[in-house]
Amino acid sequence: MTATATDSIVRAAGLTRRFGDVTAVDGVDVEIRRDRIYGLLGRNGAGKTTLMHLLTGQDFPTGGTLEVFGHAPAENAGVLQQLCFIKESQRYPDDFKVKHVLRSAPWFFENWDEDFAARLVDDFELPMNRRIKKVSRGQLSAVGVIVGLASRAPLTFFDEPYLGLDAVARQIFYDRLLADYAEHPRTVVLSSHLIDEVANLLEHVLVIDRGRMILDESADDLRESATTLVGSRQKVEDFLGSREVLHREGIGGLASVTVAGLTAEERQAATAAGLELAPVSLQQLVVHLTRTSEKEFA
């Protein structure tokens, strides 16, 4: 994948945010390119939200450099007008009803699509006349999802946008996001800890742990970087030898083991040995990576 100079819309180098003696974002280098869907993954408290606050100019870095659309985002109207940041903790004026959010959002997002917003309201069965303070957690999340999708901002951030949404509603979100993204390509950064659920949406994966970016890879490369071998325990062990095991599961005489990337010959050898090769789950990879980084820093 080759990137031209204009392809990159976010560049951070050594980006740092300290709160007292806590370093929430710790020397992050990252580049985000246009028209891709990024997953920002990591455990609770890993720094996902703080990083998004920095990238959207809601918070100020304490170190490093940051450019979004070529400029520092904080207090830069030209940059901020191209962003949409949907966060789980968004607050609204006390007297706002759902309809007031959808009425006011278009004044701030110039690509706003009124019809699309109306369709999404139907999809999520939102009560337009209910006060924001009275709606359920899931409905509140749906309000954010609708604003995030209908704003069609060139760079859209969704920070854990699905809290309280049931499985059906989450699927609606994923489906609408993909369909609209296909028609109106833009850059989406989705933070999540429901990793397997969003895995198929993602084109690029960023994993943050303890404020550090520990993985920055295309989803395809990442999936190829590991393989799950399934077969009888004995055959699996024979094949493994001294390979590094990322994840291991077993039931009775069967074993399922995830190992780091295999060459084409190794894959043939594994098949010849009677093992089944299965694609690895993104979740397992991330869990493994964050555990490893935990050990290194312990």
Question: Which residues contact another protein by CB under 8 A?
Answer: 6, 34-35, 53, 56-60, 69-70, 75-78, 80-87, 89-97, 100, 103-105, 107-109, 111, 152-154, 184-186
Least CB distance to another protein at residue 102 (A): 10
Least CB distance to another protein at residue 135 (A): 15
Q: What is the 3-state secondary structure (H, E, C) of the chain?
A: CCCCHHHEEEEEEEEEEEECCEEEEEEEEEEEECCCEEEEECCCCCCHHHHHHHHCCCCCCCEEEEEECCECCCCCHHHHCCEEEEECCCCCCCCCEHHHHHHHHHHCCCCCCHHHHHHHHHHHCCCCCCEHHHCCHHHHHHHHHHHHHHCCCCEEEEECCCCCCCHHHHHHHHHHHHHHHHHCCCEEEEEECCHHHHHHHCCEEEEEECCEEEEEEEHHHHHHCEEEEEEEHHHHHHHHCCCCEEEEEEECCEEEEEEECCCHHHHHHHHHCCCEEEECCHHHHHHHHHHHHHHHHC
Least CB distance to another protein at residue 103 (A): 6
Comparing CB distances to another protein, the nearer of 70 and 274 is 70
Comparing CB distances to another protein, the nearer of 107 and 297 is 107
Comparing CB distances to another protein, the nearer of 153 and 286 is 153
Least CB distance to another protein at residue 104 (A): 5
Comparing CB distances to another protein, the nearer of 56 and 227 is 56
Least CB distance to another protein at residue 56 (A): 8
Comparing CB distances to another protein, the nearer of 50 and 258 is 50
